[in-house]
Structure 1
């Protein structure tokens, strides 16, 4: 799917009350793997990643539109705010959100083919069906 649709930009995010986190692919095993498969992962700047220890860039909700994306994959852990619960107007204006192109992301390493398969299939289906909005 990624090789057939290289123009589709995928942003990995996570939400808290005050901050939207944009994940870089260099320290996340799932994002590194998706990138190796050809997924066009949106990458924060090296400077922004360095400021957070290499993992992500912190954005205020006013700046959540800094990186254009066609699909947003959101951290599905219980400690994070889930997309349906985000009330920020800036979030709701994002093209991927308006297009309904937000899916769950399981950032924890899963060492099982059976449990990884649905995660990869969900992303592949999202890429295959995505509208170019960014």
Structure 2
């Protein structure tokens, strides 16, 4: 049974693909006052990425050339996905699969070296599981 043990520890980040990067960055940093952790231009994707601090969590603000309105999956304008930290990614994936939840193959984040994967909620909202570093 899934309800007897909590698998989710905390919110790690919320990723948002915006239609106008400058306007959105101004809103989140100047209007809402969120501190910028870092800003990166990803030339291969012609995309800006701005990491913003939100307490112990983050918002990842992305730009992409001509993003389509959100149909349902990542890389579209709007909410990209919600990410949750877990201590043992493989154990959580096993439990989800045992419950009949389809989970994508585990990947490694090229920037952090940490493992992650995606699955979807009942409305097909993309959800990410992001494994914490050992000892955290």
TM range (shorter): under 0.3
With normalisation by structure 2, the TM-score equals 0.28
Which has the bigger relative contact order, CA under 8 A and spacing at least 6?
1
Bigger fraction of residues in strand: 2
With normalisation by structure 1, the TM-score equals 0.28
